[in-house]
Amino acid sequence: MKRRTVVLLPEGEGRAVFQPVLGRPLGAYTLESASRLRPDAIVILSGPEAPGRDDWDGLVRTVETPTAVFRLAGPKGSRDPRRALWEALFTARALFARYPDCDILAVPADRPLLRDRTLRALLRAHQARGSSLTFLSRADEAGLADVLVLRSADVFPLLRSSARGRARAGFEDLARRLTQAGKTVGFYECLDAAEALSVADSLALGRAAQELRRRKNEALARRGVVFLDPSSAWIDWPVSIGPRTVVYPCVVVEGATRIGADARLFPHVHIMDSTLGDRVRVLSSTVMEDTILEADVQVGPFSRFRPKTRVCAGAKVGNFVEMKNTVFGPRSKAQHLSYIGDSTVEEDVNVGAGTITCNYDGVAKNPTRIGAGAFIGSGTELVAPVEIGRGAYIAAGSTITKNVAAGALAIARARQVEKPGWAVERARKRAAGRQGGKP
């Protein structure tokens, strides 16, 4: 019978496998490495008494797994990884009966740095030697004794005869008994010490995050992305960035973000779940979420883009401008100190400094629409719902409460009144009052 491979993922250390790192749970990295082997099945064993076991469903959804995935509830996990693995094998033995004479690759889920190439090499070495049990080891320590491959037809008869109370010395005892039975027990050395890391505490979690960050940045750099300081850039695992894009220091890109080619992300930029086109420039200290920047857009510095915002090709958005739920048209400009919310701005519009769309009336959000080629003067308030026609001009300092026709000039401000000598007379009266002892 053809031997097949099943991967067993015991839970590992508590909830560490569910801790988000670079945009997905830590255990997803272990599951992804296992999936790349394309085994016949993957078995996930989780402790039923620990909180949040339903989180496994969310974890599995973050990884494309062409292999069948089984979830089994087992005994509460032990802090001793060898005991936890022993318990996992006992719990899953009925399922393994569906795969007779298979190789079982056991990998604790809290080993996120194990690469698929290392697991594949371990499996090849195990099969090439005809081994019944093969341990993944390191030259400097026995830190990977809980990562192993075993042949079910040789091991399970002995496993069933072992008492669960002997689990602490179980694999050493199992190896001895296999050797006595004339079976082969071997070791395969893991050359990369980082892969041995077990995430058992917050310190290990931080080390794992740093290594995963390094791997992600290196993968992007191999595809042509330029990192000016890779040690300070945090790019989530699902993020894609096009070639020749330059990432400056202290940039954070999260979620399902897609960035085109030849873009520039300047220092302290924070991007979440957004799409950026080719040749986009995001200047320093700009924050965006659920935003689309089309090709050749420039935004920032100190701009904020809230969800459902789209800045169309060639537009410019400058410092201290906030947008929300807005389509900002091609080649339009809003360069200074403005708020544009729930708005549709057509092409070639100039929005002056200090413009505010007053979109909230205390009960509902209301829309603003600005036609192509309109000019909005500085310090303008557009009280929604309101529409500014194509090519219209709004005088600076206006408060617009009614629609403005295309091509019109709208002025909505109080008439300027000047009183000659008023300031001089006021100063004289104040001086006289002080001399008379009056306050």
Tens-level pLDDT at each residue, the chain (439 residues): 456 788 878 766 567 888 899 999 999 999 999 999 999 888 887 765 444 556 778 888 888 888 888 877 765 555 555 666 667 777 777 777 777 788 989 888 889 999 999 999 999 999 999 999 999 887 555 456 678 888 888 887 776 665 444 444 567 778 888 898 899 999 988 888 888 888 888 898 999 999 999 999 999 999 999 999 999 999 999 999 999 999 999 999 999 999 999 999 999 999 999 999 999 999 999 999 999 999 999 999 999 999 999 999 999 999 999 999 999 999 999 999 999 999 999 999 999 999 999 999 999 999 999 999 999 999 999 999 999 999 999 999 999 999 999 999 999 998 889 999 999 999 999 998 877 655 4
Beta-ladder partners of 264:
246, 281
pLDDT in the model for residue 168? 46
Catalytic option among 126, 268, 270, 336: 336
Q: Where in the chain is the domain with CATH 3.90.550.10?
A: 5-196
pLDDT in the model for residue 145? 66
337-346: which pairs have CB atoms within 8 A and are 24 or more residues apart?
340/368, 341/306, 341/365, 342/366, 342/367, 342/368, 342/384, 343/367, 343/368, 343/369, 343/370, 344/368, 344/369, 344/370, 345/369, 345/370, 346/370, 346/371, 346/372, 346/373, 346/374, 346/390
Token output for 235: 């790019």
Q: Where in the chain is the domain with CATH 2.160.10.10?
A: 226-305, 335-439
407, amino acid identity? G
CATH class of 5-196: alpha beta
pLDDT in the model for residue 51? 45
Domain 335-439 sits in CATH at 2.160.10.10
Domain 226-305, what fold?
A: UDP N-Acetylglucosamine Acyltransferase; domain 1 (2.160.10)
pLDDT in the model for residue 49? 47
Token output for 382: 């557009």
pLDDT in the model for residue 178? 87
pLDDT in the model for residue 160? 63
pLDDT in the model for residue 138? 72
Q: Is 126 a catalytic residue?
A: no
pLDDT in the model for residue 64? 85
- Residue reference for tokens 């306050």: 439
Distance CA 256, CA 240 (A): 8
Exposed/middle/buried for residue 191 (C-beta within 10 Å: 0-12, 13-18, 19+): exposed
In terms of pTM, does the model score above 0.85? yes
